[in-house]
Amino acid sequence: MSLNIKIDADLCTGCGICIRFCPKDVLESSEELNRYDNHLTKVARVEDCIVCRRCELYCPDFAISVEEEE
């Protein structure tokens, strides 16, 4: 089983809500800008993710998803 945390570059506003709510410090802000000049959030420590899905729940723009893959 592996985890794939996807952040949609066109939807992410860089608001940082997912970063603040993640209990395991998996996510962080990156230097990368999307086409709206927002700093994208990136997955920094996927191995620490506990699949609590708080990031999905609290993202106001439905930009992040946590997928478990076989």
Residues at the site binding ligand SF4, with contacts judged by CB under 6 A: 5, 7, 12-18, 22-24, 26-27, 41, 49-55, 59, 61, 63-64, 66
Q: Hey, what are 31's tokens?
A: 């230097």
- Residue 48 Cβ vs ligand SF4, minimum distance, rounded to whole Å: 7
Q: How many helices (H) and strands (E) does the chain have?
A: 2, 4
Q: List beta partners, residue 69.
A: 2
Q: Is 55 helix (H, G, I), strand (E, B) or coil?
A: helix
- Residue 70 Cβ vs ligand SF4, minimum distance, rounded to whole Å: 18
- Residue 36 Cβ vs ligand SF4, minimum distance, rounded to whole Å: 11
